[in-house]
Amino acid sequence: MSEKPKLKVLKEGDLEDKISVLVGTRPSIVKMGPIIKELEKKDINSFVIHAGQHYSYNMDREFFEDLDLKEPEYLVESTKECEYHGEQTAEMLKGIEKVLLNEKPKVILVCGDANFNLAGALAGRKLRIKVGHVEAGLRSNDWRMPEEHNRVMIDHISDYLFAPTEEAKENALKDNVKGEVFVTGNTIVDAVNQNLKIAEEKSQILEKLGLTEESYFVITAHREENVDSKRNLSKLIETIEKIGENHQSSKIVYPVHPRTRKRLKEFELADRAESIDKLNLMEPLGYLDFLKLLKNARLVLTDSGGIQEESCIMQVPCVTLRENTERPETVEVGSNIVAGLEPSEVLKATEEMLSRERNWKNPFGEGTAAENIVKITTQSLTYKNKG
C-alpha cells in the first residue's frame, strides 16, 4: 500500500468532489465493502483510507482479497505501538488529517464506534469536510464502554447519520444530534447477500477443520472488558469448559484475536484453554471462511456487535457475552440473548437459544443500504459539467 498514490484523473462528466471511505478493522472492511463497491459501480470519484487500528495480513489484507476489493490508497501505519486509547486516536487523527489535506474530499464516511472512526470524524470536522456516520444511532447505554463514548461523539459531529433501523434513528434524535438522520438499513445485509454464496462455493473451512453442518459451536471474544480482565477471561474459559462437558458430541471453534491470545499468556490461562477437549483455538480467519463457519454453526457465542447482526441475518442462534448490546433488535426478534459472562447464565442462555426455532425476521433491511447511503451522500456533491 502506498502512502502517496497518484490522484485519480477526472473525466468529463465525473464528480468534481471526492468521497473518502475510512476503514481500520475487519468489521469495518466488511461493512464498508458494499459502499466501496457501490461507489466504483457508479464511477464516483473516491478513495479509501486504512487507519491501521488493526493491521496484519491475516486480519486485514486477506479480507480485501476475499471481498474482491482493491487495496486502500492510503495506510496510516503509526498506530501499531500505541498502548492507550488517547494515544492511538491521536496518531490516527494525525495520519488521516494529512491524507484529507492532500486529497481534499467533500465527504468522509466512517462506520461504527472504533477509535479510528472517531479520529476520522474529528479530522473531517476540523477541516470542514462533511462527515457521514454509517451505523449511526446505536446505543448500549453503558458509559463504561469506550465504543459508547465514540459512537455518541461521532453522531454529534456528523452531517449525515445513516441509521440502520428506526430504533437507531430514534436514539439519535433523542440525543438532539445536529446532522440529518436517515434510515438506510445496515450494510452488513448487503455484505452477507453479496458474499455468502461465494463463501459456500469457495471456502473449504469445514473440510479443513473436519466439521459438518451444525456439529459445532463458534466463539469469538476480544473486547477489552472481557479479555483485559483476568477474572472475566477466566470466566470465559470456565464457560467453554462447561459447554464442552454439556455438549460432548460438538466441537468448539474459537478464532482467537491477537489481543486475546496475548492476554491468555499474560494471565497464565493459555494451558488451561488449550487443554479443553474438542476446543480448537485457531488463528483469525479470512472473511469468506468465517462467514461459512458461522453460517453452518449450531450456535455462536460472541462479544462482537457485527456477529450478532450476521448470525441474525443467517438464522444462527446467538448468545452475547456482554451485559448489554447496541443491537437490541436482535434480542427483540429472538435471534440473540444477552447473557453476560457468568458461566451459569451463559449456559442457561445457550440451552434456550438451541431450543428456539430459527424463524426470526431480519430487522436490518433488504440489502440496499449501500445504494441508499451513496445516493444520499452524492446529492451534496458537485458535478464537473454542472453549470
Annotation marks residue 222 as catalytic: yes
First CA to last CA across the chain, in angstroms? Answer: 37
Burial of 317 (0-12, 13-18, 19+ CB in 10 A): buried
Q: How far apart are CA 266 and CA 183, in angstroms?
A: 44
Which strand ranges, in their side-by-side order, compose the sheet holding 318-320?
Answer: 279-282, 251-255, 216-220, 299-302, 318-320, 336-338
State the Cα–Cα distance between residues 83 and 86, nearest whole angstrom. 9
- 8 A C-beta contact, residue 77 and residue 88: no
Beta-bridge partner residues of 49 = 22, 74
Helix (H, G, I), strand (E, B) or coil at 101: helix
**C-alpha cell of 212?**
459438518
Q: Using an 8 Å Cβ cutoff, are 60 and 26 in contact?
A: yes
- Among the listed residues 50, 54, 133, 222, the single catalytic one is 222
Those residues with Cβ within 8 angstroms of residue 149's Cβ, 6 or more apart along the chain or in another chain: 143
Write out the catalytic residue numbers. 222
